[in-house]
Amino acid sequence: MTQPGPSLTTSLDGLTPEQLRGFFVDWPNPPTPDTFLRLLRGSYRVVLALHDGQVVGFVQAISDGVLTAYIPLLEVLPEWQGRGVGRALMTRLRDELRHLYAVDLGCDDDLVPFYERLGMRRGNLMFTRSYERQNGSLPE
Ligand SMILES: CC(C)(COP(=O)(O)OP(=O)(O)OC[C@H]1O[C@@H](n2cnc3c(N)ncnc32)[C@H](O)[C@@H]1OP(=O)(O)O)[C@@H](O)C(=O)NCCC(=O)NCCS
């Protein structure tokens, strides 16, 4: 029998930092689970994939709520990758954002086909990074 997949939710009600462990793989200076919860709470929309009370995947969107949204972060825990969770998270988020004109994100070349299969088009992204701020800790 196949294992049931995780369930999706758009609610952060009752979510604790303990449910948010294991993310930001390969980030040199990752946010703590508390900071992670803070960035989810500051988002316009989030979709979480839950299994046995743990978050195993998430995607967030920030937005003006009028025309445009941006999707900064999508991540599925390594042991859950390749099972359709990322696609399910993105599909649900796109539906949550269907009232908007523009939905943008940036990604590496190898993920272009993943997003194209979700109906997105390829463009250019310009960006800056302040690496000393990567963990999102509150400024002194
Ligand atoms: C990218 C990511 C979210 C995809 O989640 P996932 O649950 O593994 O993806 P799915 O199982 O839904 O895969 C859907 C399809 O995309 C493909 N795909 C997934 N990750 C891919 C990658 N890194 N490179 C190329 N193709 C990829 C899968 O092979 C699958 O293809 P198929 O439809 O032909 O079977 C996940 O690999 C991840 O968390 N990566 C690390 C963080 C990251 O890169 N986030 C994205 C930032 S833009």
Q: What is the pLDDT of residues 16-33, one digit of tens each?
A: 999 999 999 999 999 999
Q: How far is the CA of 139 from the centre of ligand 1 (A)?
A: 33
Work out the pLDDT band at 139, boundaries 50, 70, 90: confident
Query: 83-132 pLDDT, tens per residue?
Result: 999 999 999 999 999 999 999 999 999 999 999 999 999 999 999 999 99
Give the pLDDT band of residue 5 (cuts 50, 70, 90). Answer: confident
Spell out the domains of the chain, with CATH numbers in brackets: 7-133 (3.40.630.30)
The ligand 1 atom at the shortest distance from the C-alpha of residue 105 is: 48
The predicted-structure confidence for 34-68, as pLDDT tens digits, reads as follows 999 999 999 999 999 999 999 999 999 999 999 99
Phi then psi for residue 103, to 5 deg, are -130, 115
Q: Point out the ligand 1 atom lying closest to the alpha carbon of residue 76.
A: 39
CA–centroid distance, residue 71 to ligand 1 (Å)? 15
**Ligand 1 pocket check: which of 111, 115, 125 to mutate, most ligand atoms within 8 Å of Cβ?**
111
What global pTM score does this model have?
0.95
